[in-house]
Amino acid sequence: MFLGTVRGAVWGARHAAGLDGAKLLLVETAAGHTIVAYDQLGAGPHDRVLVAHGSRVRDLTIGPTIPCKDVVVAIVDGTDPP
């Protein structure tokens, strides 16, 4: 898993089946990369989140038919170091 910060959301009028109604967030990692993660926890802009990656993670959280391998698994309250 890795930490990132929510920078925005993604909408698409046309999308793959399985992403209907999905909340997709733009998450910026500490290294400056931006990934798109599936969110079911209600994270908002500027929230720090914990993202898990992988097909098995996807299967266990959002289901095997969803074409997204990055999933928000926690909204971070705090870290040490901050």
Which positions touch another protein (CB under 8 A)? 1-4, 29-33, 35, 41-42, 50-54, 56-57, 60-61, 70-71, 73-81
Closest approach of another protein to the CB of residue 22, in Å: 16
Q: Which is nearer to another protein, 13 or 80 (CB)?
A: 80
Return the number of the residue (13 or 31) whose C-beta is nearest another protein: 31
The CA distances from residue 18 to 12, 24, 37, 50, 57, in Å, are 13, 12, 14, 23, 16
Cα(33)–Cα(20) distance, integer angstroms: 25
